[in-house]
Amino acid sequence: MTHDLADITRHNSWATATLLEFCRGLDDETLNTPIPGTYGPIMETLRHIINSEMSYLFRASGIWQERPWPTGESVGFDTLVEHAAILARAWEDYLVNGVDVDGLNEAYGDDGSVYTVRHGVFITQAIHHGNEHRAQICSILGVRGIEPPELSGWLWGEVSGRSTIASPGNS
């Protein structure tokens, strides 16, 4: 895929997958205890990240004929990892087939309002939303004394081969 959005969507997919794998090894108390100032407990937030991103990508791309994600269902790690992989592939397919950032779809406010939204806004929200909630999960981990995984664009650049050392520093 050679597209302006390739790096950012690949980082987004990698960061979510990395966080899911990290959190898979945590105990139930850590996963299910809310910390004030965040969306909710880690498991609830992970579900929210995946479900919301699928919804944003669906509305921007129309990739799926129907929702491939559960609504109101409490799913576990296997399903979340599976859906994160579906999302990663869907982003790739979407970008390869062309992106119409000016296309239109609808979004709905909590008060029942209906908004006409450009596809580019759904894409922007998908990336922002994932970053915001992954950071909240990392904050929850930190409050609990658990060092969170590194999810930076810098590390993604290294592990993906998009960034390499040109000359070693002086240590």
Mapped onto helix, strand or coil, the DSSP state of residue 112 is coil
- Condensed to tens digits (0 to 9), the pLDDT of residues 139-170 reads 999 999 999 999 999 999 999 999 998 888 87
Distance of alpha carbon 161 from alpha carbon 47, whole angstroms? 29
pLDDT band at 1 (very low <50, low <70, confident <90, very high): very low
pTM: 0.91
Total Cβ atoms within 10 A of residue 53: 26
CA–centroid distance for 35 within its chain: 20
Distance of alpha carbon 1 from alpha carbon 51, whole angstroms? 24
- Condensed to tens digits (0 to 9), the pLDDT of residues 76-93 reads 999 999 999 999 999 999
Distance of alpha carbon 8 from alpha carbon 95, whole angstroms? 11
Count of alpha carbons within 13 angstroms of residue 68, beta-carbon side: 20
Q: Which domains does the chain have, with CATH numbers?
A: 6-152 (1.20.120.450)
What are the beta bridge partners of residue 117?
105
Distance of alpha carbon 114 from alpha carbon 126, whole angstroms? 19
- Condensed to tens digits (0 to 9), the pLDDT of residues 2-49 reads 578 999 999 999 999 999 999 999 999 999 999 999 999 999 999 999
Q: What percent of the chain has pLDDT over 90?
A: 79
For residues 119 and 102, is the Cβ–Cβ distance under 8 A? yes
Distance of alpha carbon 115 from alpha carbon 168, whole angstroms? 51
The pLDDT of residue 171 = 64
Does residue 66 have a pLDDT over 90? no
